[in-house]
Chain A
Amino acid sequence: MSLAEPSLPSGTTETVTPRRAVAPLRRLQEMPARQRAFVYAIGAILLLSLTRVLSDAHQLTSPGTSGAALRLAVPLGMAALGGVFSERAGVVNIGLEGMMILGTWFGAWGAWQFGPWQGIALGILGGAIGGLIHAIATVSFGVDQIISGVAINILGLGVARYLSVITYTAGTGGGATQSPQITQKISTVNLPFFAGGELLGWKSPNILGWLDRQDWFFVSDVGGLLQGLTSNLSLVTVLAMVLFPASTWLLWKTRFGLRLRSVGENPTAAESLGIAVYRVKYVAVVISGAFAGLGGAYLSLVASNIYREGQTNGRGFIGLAAMIFGNWKPYGAAVGSGLFGFADALQLRNAKAVHALLLLVAMVALVFAIKALLEGRLRQGLFSLLAAIVFGLWYLTSEEVPSQFTSFTPHVVTLLVLAFATQRLRPPAKVGEPYRRGEAH
């Protein structure tokens, strides 16, 4: 079963050739990817500050919100990175959720037994074991990858429940559905100069915090957002942030990465070049599980201080969504996770800010509409315009958004991305297809 549809969907007459665009847009299109991302980021923050001013929802760009967004984004990001590794090697990993559950349980248990860092290590190990099972089933036995993933989700849930019952018995402070409180925390740091971090015992100035307090349009918003991303960082958060560039480097600049991706694109050719396809797939899927496990351990040890049943709450699936949003690339996955984490953070912190999000969505849709119309994509432009009007009206006529709605924002966004940007997404060519060694002729 392949996740990539081989043929273009019938019934659509769109062509893939680039359209004529007006001058500024063309300049944007021709920019290097890194510069373009910078322009987009500036544009996004501009819209965000505009929304803040218009809706008077100061929480939108406060350091508290961006800090919470980061803490909520890290588990998603780890699951998404796990997805990137596995799917780049051609193995669909629906089992991320189950591996993450194993990570939450083993993380909390390890921290309770030995200490917080040992907990993180055991969480990673727990997820990796889940990955190993997935690899055995899908690589060695060629079982349908989605079925194996579903089974691992059931298994992860069952194992975590069972182990809770037998380890967190009476007197430990835990129980059948939760672990004891983990008292020891992993230490946090502030970035020196920018967020007032300590440097060899000297307390450096907090530039971003000062900016945040000035209440200047845009500048203070940037200050507030960045301060949240640079202060009170758990060391695990720093580690997680480093893992994105590290993964990009590993996958695109090393021999191992080239092999891993070649196995996902064309295993037959890879094998004919002497690559041990099974071994590469095994390593990739185990790494994938380890990432999911790290995300899980982060949930129980950094984002909270306890293991609870249902703690992952579908985050493995959201991670999968973030990976698709990010076009099977680490940085894209990071942007997706950040976006979904941001929506989640607003929901937790402030109902007014969630309401302001409607205005933001309306403005983003408007920008999309203008861009699409300028580029000559009439249908998409009109649809975006309609969306902008609907969200604008919703914002103007309502007082608040039901909190349950924000819980599935990531999923709606993913469906929209899949519906309207499928031509831009490029999954690995052979993802989802079982491969048997030596069968190619």
Chain B
Amino acid sequence: MKLNKNINQKNSIFKNWLVILVAILFIILPFIINAYWVDVLFFFGVYALLGLSLNIVLGEVGLFDLGHMGFMAIGAYTTAILNTTFGIPIIVLLPISAIAAGAFAWLVCSPIIHLRGDYLCIVTIGMGEIVRLTLNNNPFGITGGSNGVYGIDFPSLGSIFVIDNSTKFYYYIWLIVGLTIIGLVNLQRSRIGRAWNCIREDEIAAESTGIDVRYYKLLAFVLGAGLAGVGGNIYASKLMIVSPESFSFMESCMLFCIVLIGGMGSIPGVLIGAAAISLFPEVFRAFAQYRMLIFGVAMVIMMIFRPGGIWPRKRGAFEFKPLLMKPGEENG
């Protein structure tokens, strides 16, 4: 038992150093690489944020959601429309788009949350497609049809600090991703996280131990959608334009792949998955038209050799620790 604890401690020290190293690397990177790659890393950050948001629904609770881009679209369009017509600052709209996307998720998921597995999957696909098609059809003349909404401001704090170049956007997105990760790690260890994982492993068992399955599933959808809304806000202010084809079914599938390539429910896994999905096409740009072909082959090979993902979440280590330790030892 003592040996066991030592290994745990060594592991956690190693992990802490790894986290610090990665954080330092991310801080100094923009000074080393050129502006093009800073932008690439910005989009890596956006994918990471979206991957983390889908990871709540798919990884933690095990609900198939193939329409996640719909939530991001709600966030992005909320930002775009409110900013261009009413001139509300982007930074104020950050929480508003999160709330809008979350509220939308609550509204559409409430009646369908009882569906299981693949039926839920097709309904989320349908929902995502309805969002995209509706935006494309320019309802009430507010979404600009297939041209989208353009002329979105940069995020700013007053008039002194404006996020207006690649490097600033890079720090902005990774700051948000960092904060999200801290929040999600804590959430994983909380009562809510444990309830989610319990539902993922066995829904009936979870229900019979008194977990309100419906409530926790909806909570996952609302939180995931809210986070995707934040991603939409940042995406809209970076590109200064939002248009429906950015939120296609294909993109939702890519998010699904981010979570599965990294490893279900694993936060470092999501970061690796996002890196794979966003950096791969850039690295292989030299292959031009064969690029996506190689990408598809890589996805298949990847799943053959590591079906559980690159960095799967370790199970048990955390759940059983309190049982192995004497009372009062928990902070040791």
Check if A and B associate.
Answer: no
- Residues of chain B having any CB pair with chain A under 8 Å: none
